[in-house]
Chains A and B, each alone.
Chain A
Amino acid sequence: MGVKLLLDKVHIEGIRYYDAYRKNGGYAAVEKALKTMSPELIVDEVKKSGLRGRGGAGFPTGLKWSFIAKPEGVPRHLVCNADESEPGTFKDRYLMEFLPHLLIEGLIISSFALGSNVTFIYIRGEYAWIPEILEQAIAEAKANGWLGKNILGTGFDCEIYVQRGAGAYICGEETALLESLEGKRGNPRIKPPFPAVKGLWDRPTVVNNVETLAAVVPVINMGGEAYAKIGVGRSTGTKLISACGNINKPGVYEIDMTISVEEFIYSETYCGGIAKGKRLKACIPGGSSVPILPANLLLKTAKGETRYMNYESLSDGGFATGSMLGSGGFIVLDEDQCVVRHTYTLARFYRHESCGQCSPCREGTLWMDKILKNIETGKGKKKDIDLLWDVQRRIEGNTICPLGDAAAWPVAAAIRHFRDEFEWHVDHPDECLKRNFGLAHYADPIEVVT
């Protein structure tokens, strides 16, 4: 059984509310941090923990914090990224709904470490019922002296506000998020300058994911070194995985990054195997932007080694034969699923979510959507597959923000690993509308030792 640091108390009755949360050890980390540690020490502790951003890119959090500029007399801000819109990802929602105080606790400590007196949670607009949960937790924390003026007599003031987006995946990109928070269209900014220097209202700003900030609580409670001992290599601590698709037990799981992909899919503790007794065909292990892997490359790396659920192992082999842990949105496709159709829905998604600022993304996502729709509905030609490849290739790396890459990668990986399926669509125009199509790349489930 893996270690749990975030969801260990989620099943306690009433943990959503202050009393139960406090009784079960809540806010001890705030106490420890504010009373016994300096901001610098907290940053050091987070550095030692090896905690990496849980929003997708996996950038070391302590290092990111150490970059924040500290010009004289200019306020700094911490912004919590709760925009969670990457298809396959629904872990932050789970944390905020069921453990709001864990996030608030992490936010207080992180605000103290960064010197943010006004901290924002930017939450996707569709999660319309969650701001109330968070605001209640904030009010409870404030009533009990954890927020507001002169917290615990330290002289540190902090307010946390929740602000809703209004329907735009791109506002998860940190600079688009800041634009949106400033009341503008969610157009990503051109970097540099980076938010650490010029962020919200041109002030130094750090943007972190919900899960990252929640993980600061166990880091402080147990100490950075102890936290770093959990997990493996540079994948320290625990990670929330939101599993969905054709599995028996979709949901949010906390793993300690030492388990294998195979165990994660087939063990009863986690996904519980493929639904309806079918076979595993493919998986997108880290949210819709990361490359899809066929079953054989998912369970084992190209070198034939077991693949594990962590940053390094999932990306083993690069994009040629590997993928990424990304945001932890784990999408499983069974043998009857059509990769072309699935890829088409993703291309349509990225087209819909492009802000439209830069030409390769604005025009390229439109083009990919149209070509894929043609192929999927039996109107494609062989040359369209090569064209699709060429279009994604010329989007990737040439755009303002990584949404262009995020749109290109799934298409590239689908063609790379499932080209035969694309060709089948082209060759069988009548049939491809009639049934879902799973052709190649089956891997029979291998026995799992529990």
Chain B
Amino acid sequence: MEFTVERLQKVKEIVARYPDGKQKSALLPVLHLMQEQEGWLSVESMDYVASLLSLEPIEVYEVATFYTMYNLKPVGKYMFEVCRTGPCMINGSDEIIAYIGDKLGIQPGETTADGLFTLKTVECLGACGYAPMMQMGKHYKEHLTKEKVDAIIEECRRNAAMNN
């Protein structure tokens, strides 16, 4: 859970943006880097980030638990974060959530036994005009239909099989 050399370099670059002594400002970006590398934020990796930025560990825990994007537990290889706020709801997000849940045999908040998929409900992601939608990794999947969900799951399975 220590950073790779490239990521350490990146951390240095980020810290250099801020005035001396304000390296705490790098905390959110550095936690993103850590999550990119590890998939989630373990106590060890947060303690490592704390030492890297000369912070008390509690300062890191406070921040990591405040923001919803940080995973404090391991998650599936593919995380489906489906929006359920008003504009998405009136365009059928509830049905999409139920459909994904049925199809994968999990409830929101759960991960499939094979560790491939996590289903999560989230609040508005700024794609209300393209509803229903979900975030998958770095990107948005918009205008979701059951067919589209099928295709996405299919593709994930194929990719996972190929990478193994």
Do any beta carbons of A and B sit within 8 angstroms of each other in the complex? yes
Q: Whole-angstrom distance between the alpha carbons of A188 and B72 in the complex?
A: 24
Q: Do A288 and B86 contact each other (CB < 8 Å), given the known contacts A182-B25, A184-B63? A: yes
Complex: A164 Cα to B66 Cα, angstroms? 15
The segment out of B4-12, B111-119, B130-138, B147-155 that lies at the interface is B130-138
Complex contact A118–B70 (CB within 8 A): no
A250/B130 contact (C-beta < 8 A), A128-B139, A166-B67, A182-B22 known: yes
Q: Is B106 an interface residue (CB 8 A)?
A: no
Known interface pairs A166-B70, A167-B68; A245-B32 also in contact (CB < 8 Å): no
A87 touching B66, Cβ below 8 Å:
no
B126–A89 CB distance below 8 A:
yes
**Residue pair B89, A93 in contact (C-beta under 8 Å):** no
Residues from chain A with a CB closer than 8 A to the CB of B25 are 181-183, 201
Chain B residues, CB < 8 A from A93: 126-127
In the complex, whether B69 has a CB less than 8 A from a CB of chain A is yes
Please report the C-alpha to C-alpha distance between residue A88 and residue B83 in the assembled complex, in whole angstroms: 12
Say if the beta carbon of A85 comes within 8 Å of chain B. yes
Q: Which of B84-139 contact A (CB under 8 A)?
A: 84-87, 89-91, 123-131, 135, 137-139
With beta carbons under 8 angstroms apart, the residue of A161, A166, A242, A345 that contacts B129 is A242
Asked if B27 and A128 sit within 8 Å, CB to CB, the answer is no
| Residues of chain A within 8 A of B123, CB atoms compared | 87, 169, 348-349, 352-353
Q: How far is the CB of B31 from chain A (nearest CB, A)?
A: 7
Is B77 interfacial (CB 8 A cutoff)?
no
Chain B nearest CB, measured from A254 CB (Å): 14
- Whole-angstrom CA separation of A185 from B137 in the bound complex: 23
Q: Does A337 belong to the interface (CB within 8 Å)?
A: yes
Contact B17 A118 (CB under 8 A): yes
A111-148 near B? 1/0 per residue, CB < 8 Å:
00000001000001111110000000000000000000
| A346 interface contact, C-beta 8 A | yes
CA distance A161 to B13 in the complex (A): 11
CB-CB nearest in chain A for B35: A166
Answer yes or no: A403 CB below 8 A from chain B CBs. no
Q: Are B69 and A244 in touch, CB under 8 angstroms?
A: no
Q: With an 8 A cutoff between CB atoms, is A246 at the interface?
A: yes
A 47-103 contacts with B by CB, 8 A: 75, 84-90, 93
In the complex, how many angstroms separate the beta carbon of B124 from the nearest chain A beta carbon? Answer: 4
Chain A proximity of B150: nearest CB distance (Å): 24
When C-beta atoms are compared, the residue in chain A nearest to B17 turns out to be A161
Residue pair A126, B125 in contact (C-beta under 8 Å): yes
Instruction: Contact check, B86 vs A167: say whether CB atoms are below 8 A apart.
Output: no
Within 8 Å of chain A (Cβ to Cβ): is B144? no
Cβ–Cβ contact A184 & B124, under 8 A: no
Q: How far apart are the CA atoms of A136 and B115 in the complex, in Å?
A: 35
- When the two chains form their complex, are residues A129 and B126 in contact, meaning their CB atoms are under 8 A apart? no
- A164–B22 Cα distance when bound, in Å, is 17
With a cutoff of 8 Å between Cβ atoms, the chain B residues found around residue A84 in the complex are: 126
Q: Are B28 and A165 in contact (CB under 8 A)?
A: yes
B17 touches A87 (CB 8 A): no
The answer to whether B28 touches A245 (Cβ under 8 A) is no
B18's closest neighbor in chain A, by CB? A201
Lowest 9 A-B CB distances belong to which pairs?
A183-B27, A167-B68, A166-B67, A250-B129, A167-B69, A183-B24, A87-B124, A244-B128, A244-B129
B residues near A (Cβ < 8 Å) are: 17-19, 22, 24-29, 31-32, 53, 62-63, 66-70, 84-87, 89-91, 123-131, 135, 137-139
25 A-B residue pairings within 8 Å (CB atoms): A84-B126, A85-B126, A87-B85, A88-B87, A89-B126, A90-B126, A118-B17, A125-B28, A159-B17, A163-B28, A163-B29, A166-B69, A167-B69, A168-B68, A180-B28, A181-B25, A183-B25, A183-B63, A184-B62, A244-B131, A245-B87, A250-B128, A288-B86, A348-B85, A355-B66
Residues on A facing B (Cβ under 8 Å): 75, 84-90, 93, 118, 124-129, 159, 161, 163-169, 180-186, 201, 242-246, 250-252, 288, 329, 331, 333, 337, 341-342, 345-346, 348-349, 352-353, 355
Other A-B pairs, 14, CB within 8 Å; known A75-B19, A86-B124, A169-B123 = A85-B126, A89-B128, A165-B67, A167-B67, A182-B25, A201-B22, A201-B25, A242-B129, A243-B129, A288-B85, A331-B128, A342-B86, A346-B86, A349-B86
